[in-house]
A and B are shown apart, each in its own frame.
Chain A
Amino acid sequence: MAKKISRVLLYLIVALGALTMLIPFLWMISTSLKSGPETIKVPPVWIPQVLRWHNYVEAFHAAPFLRYFVNSVIVTVVTTVGQLLTSILAAFAFARLRFWGKNFLFMIFLGTMMIPGEMLIIPNFVTLSKMSLVNTYGALILPWLASFFTVFTLRQTFQSTPDQIYYAAKMDGASDWKYLWTVLVPMSKSTITAVTVLEVIGSWNSFMWPLIVTNSEKMRTLPVGLQAFTTDAGTQYQLLMAASTFVIIPMVIVYMFLQKYIIAGISKAGLKG
């Protein structure tokens, strides 16, 4: 009986938590369907009198969103794939290979994680402008192709796979390269999925950096493009929210698609042994 009550309580708390998370999204969708005056009405209204679907059409035409979308996709995909590639190779080197200065190098990289990202903005910008990359995909992508956080996470996973599997692969005729791609990477699927999701979301939502290194309309990404609705005359909230809605939809789809893998990965890790 006590067990039942605690179970009900647990569900209640979880449901409450989920609802709290959902409220901003619901508010966004609700606002995106309002008229201008309705958005700032006090007390706030949840259901607009008329559902103005036309806001979406208007928002979409207010700025070259298709172009922004393409830019965002290119930047996110290239950044994520590139970063995964460099991180997997580096993590393997740190986890398995023997080379001179390995531990020293690792400590230095670990040290770089202490540097706040904001401090890197100016030096990175200067470097990229010297390379004449400002306002190109290069500027949007290059600084993010290496991430020590990802290297570190993957190294931990790689290191926890048994040595004997490595030796077995050696005996089976796998070179280090083959071992990495045919054994170690598939075995580390859940960690790799997790860092991929983090990177995709981070890259898609990135605002500050694209804002700094792009100034032409053509190179903007979606989050930067949302600024179009904030002018000197004020912010058109209903359009901003409509645009925000279609900006996050791809992420929701990506998440729903990957969720299966994430949960499968976690539950498999838990049942193992």
Chain B
Amino acid sequence: MAEISNLNIIQVKNLSKHVAVNDNDLHILRDIGFAVKSGESIAIVGASGSGKSTLLSLLAGLDSPSKGEIYLDGEPIHQFNEEQRAQLRGKSVGFIFQAFMLVQSLTALENVMLPAELAGKDNAKQMAEELLERVGLGDRTAHFPNQLSGGEQQRVAIARAFITKPKILFADEPSANLDGKNGHMIEDLLFELNEQYGTTLVLVTHDDKLAGRCQRILRMCDGELTEAEQGKQSNVV
């Protein structure tokens, strides 16, 4: 069981995002504020189009906010440029996407190695092999993404997300593209590894059942975020 410290690994203040669409300002996120403790797992739920992915992209430093402050692992990423954000992402953040986002021309093994290689780690290959073994694809290391099923691809993506031992893992609808059985398998795997590595998890989903496996649930509605009922944590503690 991951230990939750009192340290806020994510801290968001007055966060807004709006974009110009056909000369109109589209307000996607309005004045959002919340904090996530280190080791905590939170779910962001909400209807499609409510702004969940947008929030995730800002938290993970994939995009920059229109207004407000975001502190990730103590760093003011709202003041960072793309270069600094990339560095932070490589060091502290892992990702899992609905569309898997594997590099098609790299094998499963190479895909898993990728973040470690980009970060200049020496033992990338060994770590990647271990992780692939861990997600049950030890015998598929040399396969390319298009030779793997959707569920298998997502398992590769999970292995890739953990190779840098990130402090925070962002997952955007990780099982939405998969059928029920595969989806559940992925979810199980995700939570298992998360626990094992003691990672902070931010999970975006529209699936309330999945959200229920997290310790906290935040609900996104028309660009505004509200703290929902307590999740798993309340049952355990």
User: Do A and B assemble together?
Assistant: no
Which A residues fall within an 8 A CB radius of B? none
Which B residues fall within an 8 A CB radius of A? none
